[in-house]
Amino acid sequence: MAQRESWATRAGFILAAVGSAVGLGNIWRFPYQVGEYGGAAFLVVYLLLVALIGFPVMLVEFTIGRRTERNPVGALKQIGEGAWTKVGWVFVLAGFVILSYYSVVAGWILRYTAIGLQGNYAAGGAGAQFMSVAGGMDSVVTHAIFMAAIVTVVAFGIQQGIEFSVKLMVPAIIALLIGLAVYAGTLSGAGEAYAYYLSPDLGTIAANWTEILPAAAAQAFFTLSLGMGVMITYASYLGEDRNLAKDGTIIVALDTAIAFTAGLVAFPVLYTAELTDVAAGPSFIFVSLAQAFSNIPFGGIIGAIFFAIVTIAALSSAISIMEVVVSYLIDEHGVDRLPATIALGVVIFVVGLPVAYEPEGLNWLVVYDGFANSILLILGGLLLAIYIGWVATDLGIEELGKGIHNLGSWGMVWIWTLRVPVIIVLLIVLTQNTIGYYESLVGIFG
């Protein structure tokens, strides 16, 4: 096999992983989930799951990727036996589904950046405006534009495409978002917003944990780009022995800080605009927040900056999903990068068309997102935790220990975390989410 390209620098790898992690999950989904599941109560459970479940699973993906230097399908073929050799397919399937609707939503966000620049938020009513952006030919066109951007970056390869672009994008996201959070702190509704966002009510958690837990777990996986082999793929380009635990800590911390900061922007804006009747769910930033931007001073330009940040974040994540499938075609089928990327862009664009075109409502979005985010990613993570936790323990510890001189008994702490708490929580969550998904399908089609 041809010599595999590798990251030019350590920062390149970390920024690419942060770029993957920081995306629609942090700035589109996170605020609406906080709103849906009781404010700070959700935040607390989410933070716990990121640390206890997300971080150990990220290390699993890193070790498998660096050990095999392969895409997820090839990686499991190489080290696994029997049915384990097939597990990589879950990841490729998840990549197809996620990217297909991710690109659609990112296209809407791009459109909302332009609307802000024109000073037109909520023109003709926030809800009606969103429906016209999110359905029909408008939405198909923005989906196509965004997919073309993804294809362009990934076609240039690891160093010149992905590494180059994340070095621009990730610092831009961080700087702009911090600027907005500082601005939001000066708004009149900030105090009330912080109280809602930051003081958890333990009673709410106790009363609703059967709902909060599965939602927070799915959110933790989605936001950290886990369960579909992105981190396997990115770590497969690691040329030397790195301290994977250290890199993982930086990545998790930055991702979490950025989601948290997105909340520091969104909630003060909402409270200042005195929006009591907030649309929760996927339309949150498009309807409620856009409405709020139309009510506050400088809302057009502030909103445009906000949506521009989300657009950049979405692009830096979307390229990571595309890279999983592209690296699979390159490694396993010997296809060249350029044709592989273009062909995939076209196919995934077509898969996303129902979500893009649907003229009224967001039913197809719920169908796609529920399947990929709440089922496939959790399943993928669970299988990997079982694999390293119970089957290939030695391989995991050996690989993790390579860049860490004093791993000591921490290796076994990691393994036992995977073996018991991670697996139990993910099994509960998978069951709950499957039931929930079935019920939502019945609600839509039944």
Kindly report the CA angle at 25 between 193 and 276, in degrees rounded to 5?
Answer: 30
Q: In one letter, which amino acid is 378?
A: I
Selected binder of ligand PFF within 139, 317, 327, 432 (CB under 6 A): 317
Please, which residue, 21 or 216, has the CB nearer to ligand PFF? 21
Nearest to 54 by CA among 295, 218, 268: 218
Torsion, CA 99, CA 105, CA 108, CA 109, rounded to 10 = -100
**Per CB under 6 A, 87 contacts ligand PFF:** no
Stretch 400-419: interaction string toward ligand PFF, x if CB under 6 A: --------------------
Helix segments in 70-163, DSSP class H? 72-79, 88-117, 126-134, 136-155, 157
Residues 204-233 that bind ligand PFF (CB under 6 A): 222-223, 225, 228, 230
Q: Which of 320, 341, 374, 432 binds ligand PFF (CB under 6 A)?
A: 320
Smallest distance, ligand PFF to C-beta of residue 52, A: 18
Q: Which of residues 89-118 bind ligand PFF (CB under 6 A)?
A: 98
Using the contact rule CB under 6 A, the part of the chain among 17-25, 268-276, 304-312, 328-336 near ligand PFF is 17-25
- Kindly indicate which of the ranges 168-176, 183-191, 314-322, 402-410 contains the residues binding ligand PFF, using the contact rule CB under 6 A: 314-322
26 near ligand PFF (CB under 6 A)? yes
374 binds ligand PFF, rule: CB under 6 A: no
Alpha helices in 273-298 (DSSP H): 284, 290-295
Taking the CA atoms of the chain, what radius of gyration do you get in angstroms? 21
Q: What share of the chain is helix, strand, coil (3-state, %, to 5)?
A: 80, 0, 20
The single residue listed with the structure tokens 């049915």 is 83
CB of 349 to ligand PFF, least distance (A): 18
| Total residues interacting with ligand PFF, rule: CB under 6 A | 15
Binding characters for ligand PFF, 138-177, by CB under 6 A (x = yes): ----------------------------------------
Other CB atoms closer than 10 Å to residue 117's CB: what's the count? Answer: 15
In whole angstroms, the minimum distance from the beta carbon of 261 to ligand PFF comes to 14
End-to-end CA distance of the chain: 50
- For 48, the enclosing helix (H) or strand (E) is helix 40-49
Q: What's the closest the beta carbon of residue 246 comes to ligand PFF, in angstroms?
A: 20
Phi/psi of residue 5, nearest 5 degrees: -65, 150
Which residue of the chain is nearest ligand PFF when measured via CB?
Answer: 25
283 binds ligand PFF (CB under 6 A): no
| Residue 87, helix vs strand vs coil | coil
CA 381 to chain centre: 14
Stretch that binds ligand PFF, among 11-19, 21-29, 76-84, 348-356 (CB under 6 A): 21-29
Which stretch in 3-11, 23-31, 162-170, 385-393 sits in contact with ligand PFF by CB under 6 A? 23-31
User: In the complex, what is the shortest distance from the CB of residue 135 to ligand PFF, in angstroms, rounded to a whole number?
Assistant: 22
Told to check if 20 binds ligand PFF by CB under 6 A, we report yes
- Return the number of other C-beta atoms located less than 10 Å from residue 424's C-beta: 10
Cα(340)–Cα(110) distance, integer angstroms: 26
Kindly list the distances between the CA atom of residue 383 and the CA atoms of 387, 390, 432, in Å, as whole numbers in the listed order.
6, 10, 17
Q: What is the largest CA-CA distance in the chain?
A: 63
Residue placing its CB nearer to ligand PFF in the complex, 322 or 362? 322
Q: What are phi and psi of 214, to 5 degrees?
A: -65, -35
Stretch that binds ligand PFF, among 19-27, 46-54, 179-187, 351-359 (CB under 6 A): 19-27
* For ligand PFF, the closer CB: 256 or 294: 256
Query: Can you give the binding site for ligand PFF, defined by CB under 6 A?
Result: 20-21, 23-26, 98, 222-223, 225, 228, 230, 317, 320-321
